[in-house]
Amino acid sequence: MAVPKELIDKVKKEMAEGSPEMADVEPTVDIKELSMASTTTKKLGIEKLEAKKVYTFTFKKTVTAEGGAKLPIVSRVTTDEDGNVIKKTGN
């Protein structure tokens, strides 16, 4: 499955604003489809819902500390299909 370029650009821009050190990093993208089991919708008394895609963008970079130690920096942004941020994590 291909990730829309507009979505990638939107997430990269948001990451660059919040974490400028990650501005030059190309993210890897994990796509998941979330759906509700038919038994669950039946119990809730609702119609079957359409499966939704969730994208997790992972930005990884290694920096060198003053003492020469290499430190990994990992930040993740999870969005829905429309590019709305669901969750952001990072160090």
Q: Which residues contact 53 (CB under 8 A, 6 or more apart)?
A: 1, 31, 32, 33, 34, 80, 81
pTM above 0.85, yes or no: no
Structural domain harbouring 80: 5-90
- pLDDT at res. 7: 93
- pLDDT at res. 38: 83
Question: Mean pLDDT, to the nearest integer, of 61-83?
Answer: 93
The whole-angstrom distance between residue 34's C-alpha and the CA centroid of its chain comes to 14
User: Cα(19)–Cα(59) distance, rounded to whole angstroms?
Assistant: 11
Q: Which residue has the higher pLDDT, 42 or 55?
A: 55
- pLDDT at res. 39: 87
pLDDT in tens, 25-35: 999 999 999 88
pLDDT in tens, 44-70: 888 888 889 999 999 999 999 999 999
- pLDDT at res. 1: 65
